[in-house]
Amino acid sequence: MENFGKAAAHFARANKVSGAVDAIKPTSDGSITFSNLESGYYLITSSNGTLAMVLTTPKNPSAKVNEKNPTPSLDKSVQEDSTSKWGKENSAQIGDTVNFKVTIGVQKGAKNYVMHDVMEDGLTFNANSVAIKELTKGTDYTVTTSGLTDGCTFEIRFDQSYLDKITEAHDLEVTYSAVLNEKADITNGEKNEAILTWGDNGSTKWSETVTKTYQFKVLKYDAKDNEKKPLAGATFQLNDAAGNVLKLIKVSDTEYRLANGEETGAVDSFTTVGAGKIIIKGVDLDQYRLVETKAPAGYNTLKDATVVNVTAGDTVTVEIANQSGVELPSTGGMGTTLFYVAGGILVIGAIVLLVTRKRMN
């Protein structure tokens, strides 16, 4: 009877059957009353895709129906790095892959289920990443990324043949990913929101996540300068916590950002200028290291890397002092060998002088 009712409702809508009534909205208590009906069976469907069969008699020409069917739900979350932590917010650096998860609560009698997803410009959607547990892409659902006129980045449309097989309410888990790109907003982060539409005009509320990225500043100065004026000519590499050199894109003399993958024009280092602090944008809430590869003329190159701990909130400023003067040779290098040779010659000379004086005495 249920399958017959669905088929009859579909036929009535598609063929505009005489006597079929559309778009009757329930009252505030969720009920609809049909009056002055002839005796017989009446098929009543809702925008949720569910239906009710009603019988009337000459003594009961009015039928009252209450819509008590549960509505579908949708909840979206984002993964923090590669951990098991999922929530409404995460952090990432430019070039990182960000993983998303949408849980859809499907209901019996489902009809016209479509999931809509909107990503801001700082996120590049990976269309091949969409997966739904226990469902087959192309059979149970299709993913559309082009030709959309509602501003969505992509849509997932569930095939009605699959929806008709739903016999009880359960959750569907939809997963997909995007790359945080060079357009990422340092101030507000990148929003990603999803919504489910169903039936003729039903929909859930939008469910939103935010992916944030950050920045820090580098101040290079003369150790003897109490005013800490920016010192030009120091070259640094930016390394991650594992020691990998990170590629950068030069935006201006005082601003760099992390490169997005194999981006054209990426460089391995940056050089300080006297015009101001160097800003590095697009970093994660993580630990980084600055390695000085070249010191300004007349200054000593730093032996150790400078640790940078990026935190949320105010921009972190990393202050790095340079010592001026002649740098002593490094331990174990050619410089120490020269010292050993020179010292040996002086010792031998002193011994010869001492022996000579004793003989003279």
Q: What is the pLDDT of residues 66-107, one digit of tens each?
A: 655 678 999 999 999 878 899 999 999 999 999 999 999 998
In this structure, what are the phi and psi dihedrals at residue 55, rounded to the nearest 5 degrees? -110, 130
**Distance between CA 9 and CA 14 in Å, rounded?**
9
**H/E run at residue 89:** strand 89-91
**H/E run at residue 293:** strand 287-294
What mean pLDDT is reported for the chain? 87
Q: What is the pLDDT of residues 244-267, one digit of tens each?
A: 999 999 999 999 999 998 899 999
- pLDDT for residue 68: 59
- pLDDT for residue 334: 54
Global pTM?
0.75
Residues of the chain with pLDDT > 90, as a percent, come to 61
Which of 241, 230, 256 has its CA nearest to residue 289?
A: 241
Burial profile 74-97: b = 16 or more Cβ within 10 angstroms, e = fewer: bebbbbbeeeeeeeeebbbbbbbe
Q: Which residue has the higher pLDDT, 109 or 171?
A: 171
Quick one: pLDDT band at residue 46, thresholds 50, 70, 90?
A: low
Residues of the chain with pLDDT > 70, as a percent, come to 88
Which of 93, 92, 91 has its CA nearest to residue 246?
A: 93
Asked if pLDDT for residue 331 goes beyond 50, the answer is no
Which of 211, 204, 212, 210 has its CA nearest to residue 116?
A: 204
Q: Which tokens is 251 given?
A: 């935006």
